[in-house]
């Protein structure tokens, strides 16, 4: 393989603003298949249904309404608390 070939950067859509961005710039929230629990996935490798949001407060505000339908389950308030802390530290 030649060094001139560029790797394709995977893109995902933010649940809040609906913009497509590099998945490495977004925060992933995943519904785990074993117990249906919701977690933040910092590695992007956990198994389960995932959703992505931008690390912006406005996107989190918009995503609050859409995350439950995207992940097909209720999102506990503690997950939104963790997301707020993650965004503040970003």
CB atoms within 10 A of CB 18: 10
The reply to whether 64 falls in a domain is yes
CB atoms within 10 A of CB 34: 7
DSSP 18: -
Q: How many domains are there within the chain?
A: 1
Domain extent, residue 15, equals 11-89
| Chain-centroid distance, C-alpha 42 | 9
pTM: 0.87
Q: At 90, is the pLDDT very low, low, confident or very high (cuts 50, 70, 90)?
A: confident
Q: Give the bridge partners for 51, in sequence order.
A: 29
Q: What is the largest CA-CA distance in the chain?
A: 48
pLDDT at 26 over 80: yes
Query: How does pLDDT run across 36-73, given as a tens digit for each residue?
Result: 899 999 898 999 999 999 999 999 999 998 999 999 99
In CATH, what number is assigned to the domain containing residue 78?
3.30.1230.10
């Amino acid at each position: 393989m030649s060094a001139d070939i560029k790797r394709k950067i995977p893109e995902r859509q933010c649940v809040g603003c609906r913009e497509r961005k590099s998945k490495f710039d977004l925060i992933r929230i995943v519904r785990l298949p074993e117990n249906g629990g919701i977690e933040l996935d910092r590695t992007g490798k956990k198994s389960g249904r995932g959703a992505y949001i931008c690390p912006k407060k406005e996107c989190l505000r918009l995503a609050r309404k859409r995350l439950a339908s995207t992940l097909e389950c209720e999102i506990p308030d503690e997950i939104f608390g963790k997301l707020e802390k993650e965004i503040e530290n970003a």
